[in-house]
Structure formats: structure tokens, C-alpha cells
Chain A
Amino acid sequence: MELALNQPTPLFKRLSWFDWLFAAIVVASGLFALTRFGDFMDIYEKGILLAAIPSLALFGWFWKPFRALFIVTGAVSLFAISQYQGELARMETAFFLKYLISSQAAIMWMCALFLLATLTYWAGVLSRSEFTLKTAAAMTWSAVALGFIGLMVRWYESYLIGADVGHIPVSNLYEVFVLFCLFTAMLYLYYEARYQTRQMGAFVLLVISAAVGFILWYALDRGAHEIQPLVPALKSWWMKLHVPANFIGYGAFSLSAMLGVGYLLVQRGILASRLPRLEVIDDIMYKSIAIGFAFFTIATILGAMWAAEAWGGYWSWDPKETWALIVWLNYAAWLHIRLVKGLRGPMLAWWAVVGLMVTTFAFLGVNMFLSGLHSYGTL
């Protein structure tokens, strides 16, 4: 009789051959990177790379679609790199690079696909067509893949510009906005599969589209897509940890805010029949804020440690730092509200929406309106 029960089998028994293949590929590519590019890394960066290997493998085992994403991204990126034959100029001449997978081309395709996906999600919601929604999800996936390819290739390109110029593409607003789109989209795709509800994509993709809009304006109008060498303060391995951690946080918070919007609409009976149940929205909202809060906590701590090394103090009340604290406190408050009977529901949804404004100011407004150490005034 017990055989009828779905007893949880231990992890290793649950892994398929593909899981193992994936793990093998991760290890291989990790070691490849280490041997091929090791000369460009200091001891810490090598450490980060080695730590990344098991983390990525586990992550792929935990979230299966990541395996395909990783393999595709890696393969295409390597192909792109091979196309360069060590010459930047081929960006304008080589067909694939010029139109598809040079960093800029890939990122522009990412932007296009995100915008397209947004429209498609809305079409799917309004026409109640599961197929359309599936298409939208597929577009989002492709956008994510192209985004990562774009970043990988950009990373390589930066080294082609000059060995001393080369750096991981998480160093300026343009690059981190791409990162933001990718993380937000991935978080969403995870929950979409987990809860089998595709409708919320219509809302989540809105915030991504906004970011895409910014990227396009920033690149075409301000030429922000140009790879600039790092200012001395940014030349540190901390950047590889601090920035991505931050943007997982920002991404998760934005996700929750868009769910908040959905919640408030459904609660008012708008699109109610087309969107998920309130409980589901609320649940995802909580989960994404939980993830966001956890990573933002880590990011802020890493930031403090970095500051202690670069600026001579782990906390300087510099505007960027302070706004990070404000964001953090805001979501700490949110989590507490959720634990108080009678304060839940719409109140939380509103708070999450307001939270997005606070967050947006923290990572955009501060750079635009407030000066401080993060604008590298001193050096």
C-alpha cells in the first residue's frame, strides 16, 4: 500500500541524464573559462568563477528550463566570439555579428522581443487564448537568451577594445538595465511555470518594456551603449557580486509591484475573469518580495564591504547607500505588515506598488538627481 505514495526520493535519484549532461557542460565551460581567461582574473575572481560552477549546476537542477537557457546562451556566445577572429572591426562586416549577435545587435533584438512579448501577452489575456500566451512566453524566453548572449559578447568585446579596458558588463546604467530586464523576466517565467498562470505576464512585461524604452533612449540618444573603461573605484571583484545581487532584488521588487497592480484591478473586478485568483497573485507577490528582500539584504551587505575597501568606510550615508537602506526598510515593513492580521490584502498591494517607485528612485533617480560617492566625484 505504501508503494502507492509519492515518497520524495533523494535528490540524486531524481536527476535525469540531461541533468548530468548539463552539470558536465557547466563544469566544462567553467574550467574552460578558467584556463582560457584565467590570466585576466585575480584570485578572488577565480574563486567567484569556481563557486559559480556548482551554484549554476544546482540552479539548473532546481529550475529545469535554466539548463537549456545556459547551453543555448553559452553555445551562441562562443559562436559569436569565434566570428570575431579577434578583430572588433568584424562587428560591421561579419553577417551574424552585424545583424544578430554582436552585443548591440543581440541587445536590440532582446528589446524588440520584449516589446513584442508585451503586446502578445495582452492579446492573449484579452482574447483568452492560451496559445497566444504560450507564444508570448516563448518570445520572453528568446528575449532572455538574446539578452544574455548580448552581455556575454559585450564582455568579450570590451577585452577586444583593450586588455585593460575589458570588464564584466555590469558597470554602467545601460548594462545594468539589460540585467534588470533579464532578471525580472526570469523570475516571472519561473512563477509562470510554477503556478501555471500566464496572464500576469501582461503586467510584468509592462515594467520590462519601460526599462527597454529607457535602454533604447539611453543608447540611441545618449550613446550610453559605448563601452567605457572603468573608473578606478569600480575596478574590483566586488562588483561581480554586488551588482547582480542588487538587480535580482530590484527585479523581484518590480515583479511584485506589477502583481500588486494586478491584485488591485482584480479586487475591483477589472479583468477579474481574465486574471488569476487573488490568493494566487498575493502568494506570488509575497514570494517575489521574499526573494527580493533576501538578495537585497545580501547586496547591501556586499556593498558595505566593498565601500569599506574602496572608500574607507562600510557606511558613508552616501545617497545611493541611503536609498538602498530606504528600499530595504520599506520591504522589511512590508513583510511585517503581512504578519499583522487585518493589514493584509489591498494594503499590501498598494505598498508593493509604492515600493516600486521607491526602488526606481533608488536605482535611477539617485543617479540622475543626487550626487555622491557613487558618481565618483572624488576620483
Chain B
Amino acid sequence: MNQAPHTFGKSVFELMSSMRFAISLLSILAVASIIGTVLKQAEPYNNYLIQLGPFWFQVYEKLGLYDVYHTAWFLVILTFLVASTSVCIIRNAPNFAREMKSFREHISEQSLNAFKHQHEASTTHAPEALAASAQRYLEGQGYKVRNLPRDGGVLLAAKAGSWNRMGYFLAHSAIVMICIGGLMDGNLVFKAQQLLGTKKIETRDIPQSQVPAISRLSPSNLSFRGSVQIPEGSSASVVFLNVADGYLVQDLPFSVALKQFRIEHYTTGQPKNFESDIELFDRSGKKIREATIAVNHPLIHDGIAIYQASFADGGTRLDLRGWSLFAPTAASFPIKGTIHQGASLTSTAGDYTLEFIDFRPFNIENMGGEIAPAGNTMSVLGGSPVSDKKHLRNVGPSFQYKLRDSRGQALEFSNYMLPLELDGRWYMMSGVRESPNEAFRYMRMPLDADGNIDSFMRLRGALLSQELRPEIAARFARQALPQTAWGSEIEDKLKFSATQMLTLFAKGGFQSLGQFLEENLPAAEREKSAGTYLRILELAAFEALQIVNQQAGLPAPKSDDATGWLVRDTLNSMSDMFVYGAPIYLQLLQYDEVKATGLQLTRSPGKNVVYFGSFLLTLGVFFMLFVRERRVWLRIKPGSALLAMSAAKHTIDFEQEFARHAQALDTLAK
């Protein structure tokens, strides 16, 4: 077939089907594939812009590096692989097929003599007799044998392992099949429509109902892979396909409703399973079927597979209590909130807008139980594979929100619903941060004997209120001094300094106290007097507590450790309050959780083609690699027998086998 004159087409054919070309293709494809693994694919374009800067962002975009595996140039490489493989098959098909059948019985004696693996044995047996025994031997060795009369003797032509060639056909047509299957599930159709301008990507952030037809794909679309989030109790009849810097809306032939989404947890708190109870309704609203899907257990409904992909909050309703942190009284006000929604907030502390971001029913926190030091003797002996998760605890629900002031400045907060135990005492925690990539800084508010922050709030108010200050100071002085010293100017001194301390503290907590000391005392005395001032402040605060309890009609605080800590913690968290960043603390009283499931829906007609191809590929590879093709010829003439052997691949097994056959021939020929 190679004798034909070399036209252009012919040489292309030659090139495409050449092994070297195949090798280059495989290598090029491998290298090209690397790109998309280095650069994170299909990110929001803004991320790339930040990452690369405006210039390179453009370059990369032109090269389609944000979705490498769907770019034209990548498809071209694949197409070449398919073409080359097909051409290669076409080219090899005829002679491989012939090879499989043929016994090469027309081979001449000279060429047999020229074989690298050939062995001559002299014999006394009649050719036919030797041929018969040799044939039996070869057949025993798994060969197919032809016994052909030749002038003055016999030619045995034998072959084994022809399936190797079959393997070649299977494996290589499988490659073609798999690629085609893959293309069927690709987005070629949309790409074409995009070029023709009949479809375009939607980039605006608008309700899907308002997305125009040009960015919608019909339910009859052959293949798609999109995702959608459905809150409990609602349903969806579309999925969203992320394309480049926008999305497309894929209309479904049915609608999916979420009844319930569940998360199961291991005892250690890690998630164990995600499940969604879903219902399918047809366009007319008639219920088609009902099912529970979970990770690794999708539901397949007329060609569309529905997968559990992710989850989120579906709009949990929050029942909140707002505290104005700088009000001189323990003033609180009720607020209602819903996750993913906003609320405007007008308070004595000013006008704000609230944006409720997220709600978490569980928080597995590391409560700093000491972790067994790694590399101790036990773990050199192997250690224990049982992980010590005692320091991990579920500290209950938390919710995140943004508080935006009238100037548009926003801070992000994360508040726990339940108190946390730290160093043996209990606190309400509220975290704050400027930007998402920071960690939260926490303000901790102490609980009183009956487990509320009310005492803290009252005391805080008293310590901030100017009206109460003289009374607090007076009571403090009286308490500090014996009856005899009452009315003396020592008392006035004490009153004065107490008032001074309280005023300073009310301005900026310990920070402003510190500042005051810096400015008014020589370094030498600071240490000592700082102690005294602190003591004064604490005792004054204790008096303040007495007063507020009285006002609230509560029993006087016992002078015990608990009260002591309450006072100290209050002073600390008030100091934190000044850097908290917001004049309002939101306390979560109750919530009504609404979860949302993240589903992925796919229709992939190419799947079965790919699977069948994969099956053939496996078969083919095994035949090619583990079935060795061998041929044996035995030319027997009166007095002598010539053994010749050939194989497609010369492995050591082949050498050994040849040696075996040669020896066998000698034995038979004796």
C-alpha cells in the first residue's frame, strides 16, 4: 500500500498515522492539561483581576486560561488525537486483520534461514512423523498450527496470541469513542450558538425570572451540568450554569421542591452525611415522585441526575435583643432578622443598616484542651491512632451580620447564642472584624449568678452614667473609711479620686486610665499607684453594683468571689467595648432555622458512550500488554528440520520460549 505516489494527502495520512506523531500528541496533550491545574479554573473574574492585575488578566482571558479545557485550542488538540488515532486504525486495520488470520505459510526457506531466532536439528524420523509429533507439541504450547506439504517434506506454520492485534483495535477505537462521548457532554452546542449570537451569557445579578430568553436554555437541551440552591419549603424549576464571567439559566422539564435538608454529625462533630428530601413536580404542578438524595446517592429522573452538592442557610429567622452599649441605663430593644436580608436600625446610638449574612446551628470550637505532644515515646512506638478530640466542643448556634453606619462603613460581627466557658467562668461572646480575611476579635461579657448579662448591662450603665457618679463616689468613700473619719477631708480626697477614676474610665476604659497615669505620674510611682487606682475603681464599681441592684429591686450583691469576678470582668469588657467598634450588641434569643440544599443537576447522554469506550479500552489494553503474539515455523525435510520463530515484541520471555522450542525440537528429532 505504501507504493502509491506521495501526494500531499498521502503524506498527511502518513504523518497523522505515524507513531512519532502519536507520541508528540500524547505529550502535548499532557502538557496542555497541566495549565488548568495550576491556575484555579472557573473562578469569579474579579479574583483573577486581583490576582493578575489588569494587563495579564486580559492576556489570560484572550488565551482562555480561565476555562482551559473548553477553549478552542484545547479542543483542537483533542480533535487531532481523535483524528490521528482513527487514521492510525484505518491504516493498520487491513494488515493487522490479515496478520490475525494469516499463518504466513508462503514464507520462503531463505527468509526462514535469515531469521534471528532459528535452529536446525538433524533427524532420522520421516518428515510426516516428526511433523505430527511437533504439531502435537506446539498445540500443547497453545499454538494454532497449519500442516502444509512442501516439496520433499512438510512446513508447519504456527501462531499464538493473535488477540494482541485485536487489543490494538479495541483500545484505540475506545480512545475515539471516549473522546466523542466527552464531546457529546461538552458545551459545543452553546459555543456554536454563542458564535452565531443566538445565545449570550448573563452577567447581571438579577432574579432568574427576569433573565431574558437569550440567556436561557430550553429543557430539550441535550446536555448540561448546573447547580441551584433551594431553601426548605420552596422549589426550583431551573438550574444555573456558570460560564466564563456570567451564567446561563437552564429551564428544567420539571421542578424540584425541598421538603427537608439534614446534616448528620459524628460524635466528634465532623459532618457525617448530607441528605435532602425532595419532591419532583411536572410543569402542570402534578407530583411525579418523591425521594431522598445524599452524597454518593443521586436520584436519576428521565435522564437527569440530581446530586447532593452543597448546603447553605435558607433564610433562618432570628429573634434578637439589641443592647445599646453606651447608654447609661440597661436599655434593650427587640429586633427581628432574616438571614440573607437586611434591616434598618434606628437607636439612641444612631442609625445603622443591618445585613444578616449567615447562621450556624453548630460551632465545633477548639476549647484549648492540651493536645498530647506529638513525637513522644508512645508515638515512636506507633502512638495511638485514636485521635484525642476532647478539646473540640460544640458551642451552639452563632450568627453573622454586618453593621453599616450612615457613612456606609461596615463591620462584620459573629455572635454566639449561648455563653462560653473560659478559665472557669461563663461569658457571652461577640466577635468583630473589619474584613473577611481577618480573624474575629472577641468581646466577652460576664454572666451573673442567674446566667444573664443583665447585671453586666446594669453595672455598665451605672459606671457610664454621670448622674450616679457622685453617689457612687460617696458610698465608696464611706465604705472605705471608719465612722470616725466620715466628714473629714480625707473623705473628700477619696470622693474626688473615685469620681476622677470613674470619669476617666467612662471615657475610654483602662486605656484612658493608663494614659492619665502616663501623663501625671513619674515612671517610678506608676506601678504602685496604678494598683491603688485599680483597687479604688473596683471598690467603686462594687458600690455601683449595690446601687443598681437596689434600683432593680434585687437583693444586695454578696461580697464573695463571684461578685468580685463579675465586677472585674465587667470593667475588662467595658474597656473592650470602647474598641468593639459598634455601640450596639445583638443578643440572639430564639431562631427558626431554614436550611437550603445545594443541588447539582446533570444530563449527560455521552456518559454511556464513555463507559462503553472505557470497557473496550480496558479489554484492549490487557490484550495488547499481556497477550504476546508469536509465530513458529518448522520446515521439515528428510534428515533435517529448521525451526524459526518471530514475535512483534522481543522480550526475555520470547528468548526463553525459543530456547524451549529448540530444545524440544532436538528431543523430538532424536
> Which residues in A have some Cβ–Cβ distance to B below 8 Å?
1-2, 4-8, 88, 91-92, 98-99, 102-108, 154, 157-158, 161-162, 164-165, 195, 219-223, 225-229, 231-233, 235-236, 279-280, 283, 286-287, 290-291, 293-294, 297-298, 301, 304-305, 308-315, 317, 319, 322-323, 325-326, 329-330, 332-333, 335-337, 339-340, 366, 370-372, 378-379
Contact = CB atoms under 8 A, between A and B. Distances in A.
A70 to B, nearest CB: 23
B273 A235 contact: yes
B20 A2 contact: no
Contact of B33 (A6, A165, A227, A326): A326
Contacts of B382: 102-108, 225
A158 B384 CA distance: 11
Contact of B295 (A102, A221, A232, A323): A232
Interface residue tally of chain B, by bracket? 35 or more
A233 B274 CA distance: 9
A311 to B, nearest CB: 7
A27 B518 CA distance: 85
Interface stretch (B133-141, B282-290, B458-466, B479-487): B133-141
A108 B380 CA distance: 8
A294 B622 contact: yes
A55 to B, nearest CB: 15
18 contacts: A1-B667, A2-B136, A91-B384, A161-B386, A164-B266, A220-B374, A223-B387, A236-B296, A283-B652, A287-B651, A309-B297, A314-B610, A317-B68, A322-B33, A325-B30, A336-B23, A339-B649, A379-B310
B346 interface: no
Contacts of A309: 296-298
Interface in B149-202: 182
Contact of A313 (B26, B598, B602, B626): B602
A241 to B, nearest CB: 13
Contacts of A279: 652
B614 interface: yes
Interface stretch (B35-43, B416-424, B504-512, B534-542): B35-43
B451 interface: no
A311 B133 CA distance: 61
Interface of B: 19-20, 22-23, 26-27, 29-30, 33-34, 36-38, 40-41, 68-69, 133, 136-137, 140-142, 182, 225, 266-268, 270-274, 294-298, 305, 307, 309-311, 374-375, 378-387, 598, 600-602, 604, 607, 610-611, 614, 617-618, 621-622, 625-626, 649, 651-652, 660, 664, 667-668, 670
B11 to A, nearest CB: 19
A221 B376 CA distance: 10
Contacts of B133: 1-2
A358 to B, nearest CB: 8
Contacts of B141: 8
Given A92-B384, A165-B266, A286-B651, A235 B27 contact: no
A32 to B, nearest CB: 24
Given A220-B379, A329-B26, A366 B37 contact: yes
Contacts of B380: 108, 220
A28 B58 CA distance: 66
A283 B670 CA distance: 34
A312 B305 contact: yes
B26 A332 contact: yes
A322 B668 contact: no
Contacts of B610: 304, 314
Nearest to B615: A301
Contacts of A371: 40
Given A319-B37, A330-B30, A332-B26, A235 B385 contact: no
Contacts of A104: 379, 381-385
Given A366-B37, A371-B40, A298 B618 contact: yes
Closest 5 pairs between A and B when the two form their complex, measured CB to CB: A104-B382, A226-B387, A312-B307, A105-B382, A232-B295
A167 to B, nearest CB: 12
A327 to B, nearest CB: 8
B271 A379 contact: yes
Contacts of A107: 382
Contacts of B310: 378-379
B30 A108 contact: no
Contacts of B602: 312-313
Contacts of A2: 133, 136-137, 668
Given A283-B651, A322-B36, A371-B40, 15 more contacts: A5-B668, A98-B381, A99-B381, A104-B384, A226-B387, A229-B266, A232-B273, A286-B651, A290-B625, A297-B617, A308-B607, A310-B296, A317-B41, A322-B33, A366-B37
Contacts of A325: 30, 33
Contact of B670 (A1, A7, A8, A106): A1
Contacts of B307: 310-312
Contact of B374 (A223, A231, A314, A323): A223
B617 A290 contact: no
